[in-house]
Structure 1
Amino acid sequence: MFSKDQFKSEVVQDWCGTHFSDLISSDDWPPNSPAPYPLEHSVWSVLKKKACSTKHRSLDVPRATTVEAWENSDEGYLRAAVDASRRKISACIRAKGGHFEI
């Protein structure tokens, strides 16, 4: 399977959008993980943004800033992410793994 980030180039997306009417946009493509859990992708992207907002001079610093970002996470955001994930998983189950919309 192709990694989402490798094919996210704006030029490639534009070309594919022009030539393939059924293209799944990079925003709608599922996370790289083989597990169907967008919750992990959603929460991790927020943590990554916070932890990597500045350049780090050693490998220990990103780990520490990631832990700090997790400890300072907005509980309301995490609850909303869990609720959204539950709705998506329930819809997937109802669709028996087929196409569904939220």
Structure 2
Amino acid sequence: MKLFAAVILVMVLLQNFDVFMVRGALGSRTMPSSYCESLRTKEIKCQRIKSYSMLQNEPKNKVLLILKKKNTKVCVPAELSWVKKIILCLDKKNGTYKS
């Protein structure tokens, strides 16, 4: 009888452990570092920005990922006029501007 109770107890514990492991695996997925949930359209000053990069996985490369000086990432539409000015400003600052 004790052996039967021990087997049932082990089965219940293993079943709970399995559910815990599956939930942990599903809940621990991370977002790619170049993923945008939303786009910001409010203007950001060039002085507050450290760098930028075009996102390859977004449709038609229309989204720019901006890294602000406080290491926060912001996604912005690349076709906005203030975004084009920021690209120009940073390229000139970094010496990568091509006239």
Q: Which TM bucket (shorter chain)?
A: under 0.3
TM-score (norm: length of structure 2)? 0.20
Higher strand share: 2
Higher helix share: 1
Find the structure with the greater CA-based Rg: 2
TM-score (norm: length of structure 1)? 0.20
